[in-house]
Amino acid sequence: MRLLALLAFGVGRRRTLLAALLAGAMLGTAAGASAAQGLPDFVDLIEKVAPAVVNIRTTERAEEGARPSPFRRRMPVPPGEEVPRGEGSGFIISADGYVVTNAHVVDGASEVLVTLTDKREFKAKIVGADLRTDVALVKIEASGLPAVRIGDVSRLRVGEWVLAIGSPFGLDSTVTAGIVSAKQRETGSDIALLQTDVAVNPGNSGGPLISTRGEVVGVNSQILSPIGSYIGISFAIPIDEAMQVADQLRASGRVVRGRIGVGIAD
Catalytic residues: 104, 134, 205
Of 146, 151, 144, 147, nearest in space to 214 by CA: 151
If DSSP codes are grouped into helix, strand and coil, which group holds residue 146?
Answer: coil
Residue 12: HSE in the Cβ half-sphere, 13 Å Cα cutoff: 0
Cα-to-chain-centroid distance, residue 266? 54
State the Cα–Cα distance between residues 92 and 128, nearest whole angstrom: 15
Q: Which residues are CB-neighbours of 56 under 8 A, at least 6 positions away?
A: 87, 88, 89, 90, 99, 101, 105, 106, 112, 113, 114, 115, 124, 138, 167, 206
Buried-exposed string 77-106: b where 16+ CB fall within 10 A, e elsewhere: eeeeeebebbbbbbbbbeeebbbbbbbbbb
